[in-house]
Chain A
Amino acid sequence: MADYISTCSDWTFELIDRYDQEIGRVARNYGLDTYPNQIEIISAEQMMDAYSSIGMPVGYNHWTYGKKFLEYEHSYRRGHMGLAYEIVINSDPCIVYLMEENTMTMQALVIAHAAYGHNSFFKNNYLFQTWTSADAIIDYLLFAKNYVAECEQRYGVEEVELMLDSCHALMNYGVDRYKRPSRLSAQQEISRQKEREAYLQSQVNDLWRTLPVRKTEKRKKNAKPFPAEPQENLLYFIEKNAPLLEPWQREIVRIVRKIAQYFYPQRQTQVMNEGWACFWHYTLLNTLYDEGLVNESFMFEFLQSHTNVIAQPPFNNKHFSGINPYALGFSMMQDVKRISQQPTAEDHEWFPDIAGGDWRENLDFAMRNFKDESFIAQYLSPKLIRDLKLFAVLDDDRRDEYEISAIHNNKGYQHLRQALVDQYNLGSQEPDIQVYNVNLRGDRSLTLRHTQYNRRPLGDTAPEVLKHLKRLWQFPVRLETVDQKGNVSLLHEIK
């Protein structure tokens, strides 16, 4: 009885510290490897602040963040939305926000979920390791904030706002999908930023040299196309090649691009990241209960919010809004543990490598080496497909009706798995648009190519986005689409 860490629902700093120590101890016993934590207690209003700046602890000013804030505030005040219990920042030390309104149980839940679950995922998943630098992000964001503020003073708030608007429109196309970006370091950013300005400008100028070609140089009839190969990173291409941008504008393009790149792994690992964190808060707090450190009322409160978080309403329920990544991720992590501990004949057939193995090793391996699409491709088991009663609907605009293309039976497992993988593949969820050509010698127009995926057309926002692109490029921009047979047609053009 006297061993319980706490018995009432109010939290104190001492109790938070105590819980953190116990949860940390249990987590280390399970072999979780984490960054040091920095737990920050904040108010509801601050939570909305953090929320609306997409979780960046320091961010430059922009009206869209104000819009998000108003949106959250409105629905929070009217009770449409509970606030997120936690926000966690992929940084070293890992920053975890706890909201002051939470009860002691909720704080412990958040500590287990964010400070040990998400934290260890950030530190060890290969995407995060390759693409983000946890130790440098805060400094970089600070650099970005100051730089944008300085530009606002020098060139006016409006100018900077237009620039940011246009960059945000293309933010999803500001990431390198395959090439590893250089590491972020604020120190170097500041010291090299001036250098880069001068150098970049000279490069761009060379590309756009308008001096007459010297007679000694042979004029080639068919000059090489530029870019030599299609470019997927639109913002990068603009930063390096847009003819008329001022150096500070290029720097802003770069800032938006870097931030997009920093968040790119999070967009690719939503199911895994949340599943991993849910799995660990569930496991860690249950372990505390087994050790007699928390009492039943603690567990009831915890389990109630846990089940809310991982609830998956069926498709015909009024609360349904797509597959809940928490539910899918948690079930899959639990399933890996189950397959390791109590494999069935089916599991032996489907997962010969992990069935009957050490669940900690198997989970650790899964966490380190996958992203959502490959994780689902590798680990979604027939049993889970049956449990979730998954089915696939085929929507083809050449037919008048929807068709059920697979259900949770023997024939359907592979098919469903593949369809679900596709649903989490950012490459097929976002239209594939690349820089195809720049007319160097003529009107300097920029041509983008959209390669259709399963004949899916572009949404009606494309002309709007193209206007933003035009603002950055400042010469005519064109958007072409290529269908599956390779026919090219012009979609929009802005002169």
Chain B
Amino acid sequence: MTQIIDRRLNGKNKNAVNRQRFIKRFRQQIKQAVAEAVAERSITDIDQGERINIPSKDTAEPVFRHGAGGRREIVQPGNQEFVVGDTFPRPKTGQKKGGSNAGNSGESTDEFVFQLSREEFLEFFFEDLALPDLVKTQLTKIHEHKWVRAGYTVQGVPTNINVIRSLRGALARRIALRNPRERQLEEAEERLHALQQSPDADDPVTARMIRELEDEIVALKRHIEAVPFIDEFDLRYNNRIKQPKPITQAVMFCLMDVSGSMTQERKDIAKRFFILLYLFLIRNYEHIDVVFIRHHTTAKEVDEQEFFYSRESGGTVVSSALELMYEIIAKRYPSHEWNIYAAQASDGDNWDDDTENCRDLLMGKIMPLLQYYAYIEIHDRDDKRLWQEYKTVQAAYGNFAMQRIESVEDIYPVFRELFKKRADG
């Protein structure tokens, strides 16, 4: 009577639709939580899911129920010393359960907590950045192999049949299988003809030979006809194989001006900018080092925490950071072993005398070593000297990108070239 069914293989992710519905419904709250998470996270941790808290009053499903008050009697197990008539004070309001067990349920019920997957998290992260869809998928997907052509195989799926190869093979096979028989056939026909023409054709010996030859001709013709036009054996399929992507390493330099004019808000925009470059790099390189250099009048290599959250004041000498970067490259990241990327965020201020230094440093020393240099200037005023000098760098080097930014959606254009290149490949 009993039927046993293995359901493990079907119906996976049956709840995916409901999950999507939930996320859609609480889009605003989740977005808020993601924004907070981005602010708190380290750049190198961006590529993960996230625990999201939503106030549970928002997700509640209201039903009619009794409130506190009135008269109620509750039966409990495990009496130890109570006798009828014992009284004890009512627990503070807000605890609903009777008896002395009130409020021991453990976890707080004020918040609805759940886990956002990595893809979902990145989707929310990308939302404001105005990334093209292609780039989004590119960043979200994890590539480890790519498919390359590798000649032809004798097995495959019908869509991969290579027609020219298959027919060429068929033709060769037909020629190879038919030719010897055709030659024999020709000879046999010639001999038959000769025998039929000969005077002693009525001789019983000759007559027998003629009959034998005729049989042979029939058999040969049957053989030739039996060679098929195309055989399964002839089919050739395009072959593709997975090839692992070359393992490479990259170093990413984050340069930021931390002089007094860089507010926390500007730093947050800068952080998004660095994150985006980082996300691009982890898609393409096996191993990534991140170096943080901050500068005002002097530059210093720091850890991420200090990079984003400590404040300094004073003037600005951009070349100090460039110089430090050059030193670090020379010391630790030889350019034949490392792919070097640099991202610089600034509000565009610089000592006037220093600006030309920067240009010379970049053009003369640094740019030849780099894969890509991305520069953002976070302010809304007119061009500054640094911007103009950098323009000349941009004119000379195709891998130098710059953009003036007012809000986060302006970030992407800086990387447009970078992503375009990868999208082609």
B79/A67 in contact, CB under 8 A: no
Instruction: Tell me whether chain A's interface is mostly helix, strand or loop, or mixed.
Output: mixed
B99/A315 in contact, CB under 8 A: yes
Q: Which residues of A contact B69 (CB under 8 A)?
A: 397, 455-457
B14/A392 in contact, CB under 8 A: no
B4/A161 in contact, CB under 8 A: no
Q: Which residues of A contact B23 (CB under 8 A)?
A: 66
Say which residue of B4, B61, B67, B107 sits within 8 Å of A20 (CB atoms).
B4
Q: What are the interface flags for B38-66 relative to A under an 8 Å C-beta threshold, 1 for contact and 0 otherwise?
A: 00000000000000000000011111111
Binds A, one of B5-13, B273-281, B374-382: B5-13
Say which residue of A161, A318, A411 sits within 8 Å of B104 (CB atoms).
A318
Q: What are the interface flags for A1-14 relative to B under an 8 Å C-beta threshold, 1 for contact and 0 otherwise?
A: 00000000000010
B114/A431 in contact, CB under 8 A: no
B71/A454 in contact, CB under 8 A: yes
Binds B, one of A120-128, A243-251, A280-288, A461-469: A461-469
A395/B4 in contact, CB under 8 A: no
Interface size on A, residues (CB 8 A): 102
* Distance to closest chain B CB from A211 (angstroms): 37
Q: What are the interface flags for B14-49 relative to A under an 8 Å C-beta threshold, 1 for contact and 0 otherwise?
A: 110111111111000000000000000000000000
A313/B62 in contact, CB under 8 A: no
A73/B115 in contact, CB under 8 A: yes
User: A70 at the A/B interface (Cβ < 8 Å)?
Assistant: yes
A38 to B83, CA, bound (A): 51
Known: A320-B104, A394-B71, A396-B71. A36 touches B1 (CB 8 A): yes
Q: Which residues of A contact B115 (CB under 8 A)?
A: 70, 73-74, 77
B77/A388 in contact, CB under 8 A: yes
* Distance to closest chain B CB from A324 (angstroms): 9
Say which residue of A73, A115, A315 sits within 8 Å of B78 (CB atoms).
A315
Known: A65-B18, A171-B63. A321 touches B74 (CB 8 A): no
Q: Which residues of B contact A468 (CB under 8 A)?
A: 62
A24/B15 in contact, CB under 8 A: no
A41 to B84, CA, bound (A): 52
Q: Which residues of A contact B197 (CB under 8 A)?
A: none
A412 to B79, CA, bound (A): 13
Q: Which residues of B contact A465 (CB under 8 A)?
A: 62-64
Known: A172-B64, A315-B99. A452 touches B70 (CB 8 A): yes
Q: Which residues of A contact B87 (CB under 8 A)?
A: 401-404
Say which residue of B19, B65, B85 sits within 8 Å of A69 (CB atoms).
B19
Q: Which residues of B contact A400 (CB under 8 A)?
A: 89-90
Say which residue of A63, A65, A67, A170 sits within 8 Å of B112 (CB atoms).
A67
A65 to B72, CA, bound (A): 33
Q: What are the interface flags for A129-169 relative to B under an 8 Å C-beta threshold, 1 for contact and 0 otherwise?
A: 00000000000000000000000000001000100010011
Interface set of A (CB-CB < 8 Å, partner B): 13, 16-17, 20-21, 24, 36-43, 45-46, 48-49, 52-53, 61-67, 69-71, 73-74, 77, 80, 93, 100, 115, 157, 161, 165, 168-173, 312-318, 320-321, 323, 388-398, 400-409, 411-412, 416, 419-420, 422-423, 429-431, 433, 452-462, 464-465, 468
